[in-house]
Amino acid sequence: MVTSRIDTDILILGSGGAGLFAALHACQAAPELSITVAVKGLLGKCGCTRMVQGGYNVALAKGDSIERHFMDTIEGGKWLPDQDLAWQLVTLAVERIRELENELGCFFDRNPDGSIHQKAFAGQTFDRTVHKGDLTGIEIINRLAEQVWARGIARLEEQRAVELIRTKDGAALSGVLFVDMRTGEYVFVRAKAVLLATGGGPTMYRYHTPSGDKSCDGLAMAWRAGLPLRDMEMVQFHPTGLLAGAHTRMTGTVLEEGLRGAGGHLLNGERERFMGRYDPKAERATRDIVSRAMFSEIKNGNTSPHGGLYISMSHLGADNVRKQFKGMVERCADCGFDLAGGLVEVVPTAHYMMGGVEFAADCRTELPGLFVAGEDSGGVHGANRLGGNGVANSTVFGAVAGDSMAAWVRREGALREPDGAAIESAVATCETPFKNRPAGSNLESLREKLFEAMWERVGILRDGAGLEQALRELGSLNDELDRFALDGTNRAFNLSWHDWMNLKNLVAVSRVITAAAIARKDSRGAHFRSDFPETGPLDESAFTSIRFDDVAMRPVKFTRVRPGQTLLKDAA
């Protein structure tokens, strides 16, 4: 059934910040190697790095320091981050931002004296977010893509990775099985080193921000390959997703945090401000607190027409709002809302997965030949990701992965024969909906069941009974997907088929999230259980590590700083 086979030295899955940085660094470190970037969409046009609005955290300015950035990251992550990975993030972000400007051609906003402008972002003790207006991601991805196009880096576009294939003895990775989305044919790519950089993507929630091409494919493949995933219960919700009805993909997209930062008010269905009842900082509390308060208001039934709440900016002066938030005003107007002078319906929206594949500082995973970077990886952010640390994470670790894959391939890389039976089995799984009969079942109703289970029971507020119920529902949903039958046999650009594969992966990863959430019997950062509302002793912090169905709680190693301590000299 596999119609073509390709060999390459380095194979990169995904063309976001992580994938493209890895390609450029590998190319620079070892120009003699063949490098292939394979991506579900078109290179430079898909994924979430392109969607970055706010910006990139890096300690550049006088008065700031990498120690301060580190402490913000650790405290924001509620002491769950892997401290060595977090340290790498904050130190290498400085190099990457210089590389982005001085070598790759990005141009970020400047101060009148010519230095890089850095703005405030929530949860940080210093204004350190580098940006290009509110279109920072487009600047980064366009420049990265141009540089990749200018080099001899091969591209496999509209190619969907479906399974990691080990060698026959299972001891190493041989390569990756793909579906060529343009033809529906199966392609096997053998590689000496493979980077998983498919960007996570919590699109299993009814309201979500990530791009539509993301369905946790990389995480699902890693989980099926038996790799350990950590912190998977930690899913970040952004408080202000646009709520414009089920008919538009604009629903769920982010209305930026700056609206609350500038003094925007959140109102319930009665048009009353409610945040003061939940936190003294009101609308300026952190994302997790605001999202939880909003979810509670929604649960109380005091909602807007679409079942959400409102954001109101008009008290700040309509002209001022139009000037300060031009892009947001236009986005809202497209959906029939007047942000400057009226009310806009909003709802918390799933934004980012802090959890992912466990990895070493050089981006190696447990499986020889497989590396991971970006949102597919776990451990850098712990229980919460600071706004601005996401794109820093993908570019920093993408570059690390590129360097270390190049060195690894030179040192010990070899093309290894795949386990033919594993390829056949993966193809057979993909073919399931063409073989099942009779056709006629409805994917939309299955998606709705997934949304219902994840939004209601594994979302912003959780408890043991709801999580156990969700686990059962997800199991049944998986069985229903296994029985699902597609109409017809045409595989070229068969979007229903890809939707089915998306749902299979989303259900698999949803089960992992739920199992991890059941195991964590406390409340921290993004994870809140009403039956275990206490944080617990920070000194005894442990992270969840899940392999297949086994969840373990592993102690966090405080390699640089312990709870109660700080690396900031002036705070001592």
Site of interaction with ligand FAD (CB under 6 A) = 13-19, 38-41, 46-49, 51-55, 160-161, 197-199, 209-210, 213-214, 217, 254, 352, 374-375, 387-392, 394
The verdict on whether 238 is a catalytic residue reads yes
Calpha distance 353→338 (Å, rounded): 31
Q: How far is the CB of 538 from ligand FAD (least distance, A)?
A: 25
DSSP 217: H
> What are the CA-CA distances from residue 14 to residues 27, 317, 337, 442 (Å)?
16, 43, 35, 30
55 vs 123, beta carbon nearer ligand FAD: 55
Structure tokens at 208: 């979500």
Residues in a beta bridge with 266: 311
Backbone angles phi, psi at 407, to 5 degrees: -65, -40
Residues in a beta bridge with 196: 13, 372
Looking up tokens 């992912």 gives 356
Q: How far is the CB of 177 from ligand FAD (least distance, A)?
A: 11
Residue whose Cβ sits closest to ligand FAD: 16
The verdict on whether 271 is a catalytic residue reads no
14 vs 239, beta carbon nearer ligand FAD: 14
H or E element in which residue 403 lies: helix 389-412
Q: In sequence order, what are the residues at sequence separation of 6 or more whose Cβ sits closer than 8 angstroms to the Cβ of residue 61?
A: 115, 118, 126, 127, 128
Which of 68, 208, 260, 364 is catalytic? The answer is 260
Which of 25, 160, 206, 238 is catalytic? The answer is 238
**337-341 contacts, C-beta under 8 A, 24 or more apart:** 337/242, 337/244, 339/255, 339/311, 339/313, 340/313, 340/314, 341/314
255 vs 406, beta carbon nearer ligand FAD: 255
SS3 content of the chain, % helix, strand, coil (to 5): 40, 20, 40
Q: How far is the CB of 492 from ligand FAD (least distance, A)?
A: 17
Backbone angles phi, psi at 166, to 5 degrees: -85, 170
Amino acid code (one letter) for 40? K
Calpha distance 272→312 (Å, rounded): 11
Q: How far is the CB of 271 from ligand FAD (least distance, A)?
A: 28
76 vs 210, beta carbon nearer ligand FAD: 210
DSSP-based three-state secondary structure for 273: strand
Question: Helix/strand/coil (H, E, C) string of 441-510?
Answer: CCHHHHHHHHHHHHHHHCCCCECHHHHHHHHHHHHHHHHHHHHCCCCCCCCCCCHHHHHHHHHHHHHHHH
227 vs 254, beta carbon nearer ligand FAD: 254
Question: Helix/strand/coil (H, E, C) string of 289-323?
Answer: HHHHHHHHHHHCCCCCCCCCEEEECHHHCHHHHHH
Decide if 347 contacts 355 (C-beta within 8 A). no
Positions marked active-site: 238, 260
